[in-house]
């Protein structure tokens, strides 16, 4: 029992750190309206194990400390990731439609944030933010998960406990 708790905490710490580092490494394209936050592909881990909701949310919170939109991105950007992670975690069996959840959630929440704070055009930002999420989560993340699923121990390695028989 104690080993399971340590394993879950460690896995989430690794995911949070990886999210932060990937966002930091891609800072020029990770913030504001036209953003492709590569680290968002980690949200798909929530499809296989709800525990990763904590890791990606904490990673987002830490990454948003670098945002030019402080303190708003800490609040709304992190909230958008939390909502997207929960949506993915409770999406049954089909990975591809689940991968579009962050595009919708972040598209609207981050676009509203940019519209209110910077007075940028709302619908243009919805399109730009959603497109960046599609590139990161659907393009990169979904493709990566479809490749990694062919590795026999991948689902075991990430501690998958749901959607083990997932479809496309």
Mean pLDDT to the nearest integer, 23-36: 87
Kindly report the number of other CB atoms within 10 A of residue 89's CB atom. 21
Q: How many domains does the chain have?
A: 1
Tens digit of pLDDT for each residue in 91-123?
999 999 999 999 999 999 999 999 999 999 999
Answer whether residue 126 shows pLDDT above 80. yes
Query: What does 39-101 look like in DSSP terms, one character per residue?
Result: GGGGGGHHHH-TTHHHHHHHHHHHHGGG-TTTTHIIIIIHHHHHHHHHHHHT--SBHHHHHTH
Query: What is the per-residue pLDDT for 1?
Result: 66
- Could you give the CA distance from residue 136 to residue 107 in angstroms, rounded to a whole number? 13
Answer whether residue 77 shows pLDDT above 90. yes
In a domain, 48, yes or no: yes
Query: What is the per-residue pLDDT for 25?
Result: 94
In a domain, 162, yes or no: no
In a domain, 16, yes or no: yes
In a domain, 165, yes or no: no
In a domain, 167, yes or no: no
Can you give the residue range of the structural domain that contains 141?
A: 2-157
Mean pLDDT to the nearest integer, 21-27: 95
CATH number, domain with residue 27: 1.10.1760
* Residue found by looking up tokens 């959630």 in the block: 105
In a domain, 166, yes or no: no
| Least confident stretch, 88-97, 124-133, 156-165 | 156-165
Q: Are 11 and 52 in contact (CB under 8 A)?
A: yes
Q: Are 34 and 128 in contact (CB under 8 A)?
A: yes
Tens digit of pLDDT for each residue in 129-143?
999 999 999 999 999
In a domain, 56, yes or no: yes
In a domain, 168, yes or no: no
């Amino acid at each position: 029992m104690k080993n399971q708790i340590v394993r879950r905490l460690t896995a989430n710490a690794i995911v949070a750190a990886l999210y932060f580092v990937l966002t930091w490494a891609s800072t020029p394209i990770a913030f504001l309206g036209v953003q492709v936050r590569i680290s968002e592909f980690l949200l798909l881990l929530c499809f296989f194990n709800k525990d990763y909701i904590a890791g990606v949310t904490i990673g987002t919170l830490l990454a948003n400390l670098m945002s030019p939109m402080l303190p708003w991105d800490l609040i709304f950007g992190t909230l958008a990731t939390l909502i997207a992670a929960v949506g993915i975690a409770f999406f049954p069996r089909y990975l591809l439609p689940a991968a579009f959840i962050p595009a919708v959630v972040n598209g609207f929440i981050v676009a509203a944030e940019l519209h209110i704070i910077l007075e940028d055009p709302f619908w243009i930002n919805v399109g730009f933010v959603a497109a960046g999420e599609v590139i990161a989560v659907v393009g990169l993340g979904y493709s990566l998960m479809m490749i990694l699923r062919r590795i026999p121990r991948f689902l075991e390695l990430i501690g998958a406990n749901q959607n083990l028989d997932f479809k496309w």
